[in-house]
Structure 1
Amino acid sequence: MNISDELSKLHKANAGYLAVKSKSECLESTRVQIQKSILDHLENRKHRFVWLRGSPGTGKTAISMSVASALNKQGRLAASFFWDKNRQGEGLASIEHFPSTLARQLALFNAEYEGLLVSQLRQSPAL
């Protein structure tokens, strides 16, 4: 069985930032400082994640979409997952497909990780 066959065993939700049409990036010239701050933070190899929090409707998703877009253009976006409670039945309204979706995206981003993941999948088919 080849690598693609192994990865296809993992459930995948269409939740990457490019696939989520119901969300949008920040309008041009808005939230520039917070986007820059997040991108600068991620420049440091020790900083792999950012926790963006705030009240509903304050633009967290738009900021996240903009940062994901910028990282993707730089070839640095390893994975993304955007929940959407309005898309029931697609795996975007719950955490169920989150781990496997990120695992697949990370495998496509990094060949070394892909090899490790496939090896693990072959040893533990229940994953």
Structure 2
Amino acid sequence: MAQSNTPVPLPMNLSHSMLHNPTFIQHTQIIDQRLYIRGGERPGYARLLENVATAALHDSVHVVDPPKCHPNTRVAIMQCITDWTLGMNQKWSGKPILWLKGAAGAGKSAIARSVAERCSREGSLLGSFFFGAADSTRNHVEKLVATLSCQISLVLPEFRATVATLIDDDPLIFGRSIRTQFSTLIVRPLSAVLAKRSTTSSTMPCLIIIDGLDECSAVHSQ
């Protein structure tokens, strides 16, 4: 029986190991405990998933009959937004933010959701967040950044590893300010991805849609 002071070995990668006579030979490095896989995911990425508001996605299964534009309606405005996303709209060229405004009931959310679906199909959508005043999971900003970051990690696999490491390095990130979360979970990993990409590579998805700011319960967060 092992004594109580027997050290517990670290988990090891056995993919390139063998037994030679009674001696165990390990050809790969011991896995850092911080990178230990839990349920198929790194701890940092698993924590990101725990802070996602799935009801805020443009195609969420939790939203019954979400507002969308009827076929062949709002064609001009949706085309303008799509052209702006791709840098093809001369009037709005170089503008990083597009604000869609109008009276209540004018169809802003319907346009935003329809654009999100179209851009998702065409590969230009990085992420979206649809606030909802009556839904406690998406009527505040606490899960905004994590939800966007998770979607980006699905579109850009190289982003995923970087953001997981940043969460491992700062386990308290989801309790920090929105500004700090945005810098850590979106700007820094996205900058790292862009720095590694060749200038001659194909255009990267660049559109992020945030809809319904007035449905965020805290005015200061709006």
In the superposition, the TM-score normalised over structure 1's length comes to 0.87
Displacement of 1:22: 4.6
Contact 1:42 1:49 in 2 (8 A): no
Contact 1:24 1:65 in 2 (8 A): yes
Distance 2:44 2:97 in 1: 27
More helix, by proportion: 1
Gaps of 5+ in 1: none
Match of 2:215 in 1: none
Displacement of 1:112: 2.2
- Higher Cα Rg: structure 1 or 2? 2
- 1:45-124 matches, within 5 Å, as 49-88=97-136, 91-124=137-170
Tell me: CA distance 1:34–1:72, structure 2 relative to 1, closer, same or farther (3 Å): same
Amino acid at match of 1:76: S
Displacement of 1:48: 5.6
Distance 1:105 1:29 in 2: 29
Distance 2:96 2:118 in 1: 15
Distance 2:166 2:156 in 1: 15
In the superposition, the TM-score normalised over structure 2's length comes to 0.52
Q: Deviations over 1:66-94 (max 9, x none)?
A: 10010111122211111111122xx2111
Classify the secondary structure of the residue corresponding to 1:80: strand
* Pair 1:7 & 2:45 matched: yes
Q: Which has the higher contact order (CA 8 A, sep 6+)?
A: 1
Distance 1:76 1:50 in 2: 15
More strand, by proportion: 2
1:24 to 60, 67, 70: 67
Classify the secondary structure of the residue corresponding to 2:106: coil
Contact 1:42 1:48 in 2 (8 A): no
**What's the Cα RMSD here?**
1.9
Gaps of 5+ in 2: 1-35, 89-93, 174-222
State the percentage of identical aligned residues: 27
Displacement of 1:51: 2.2
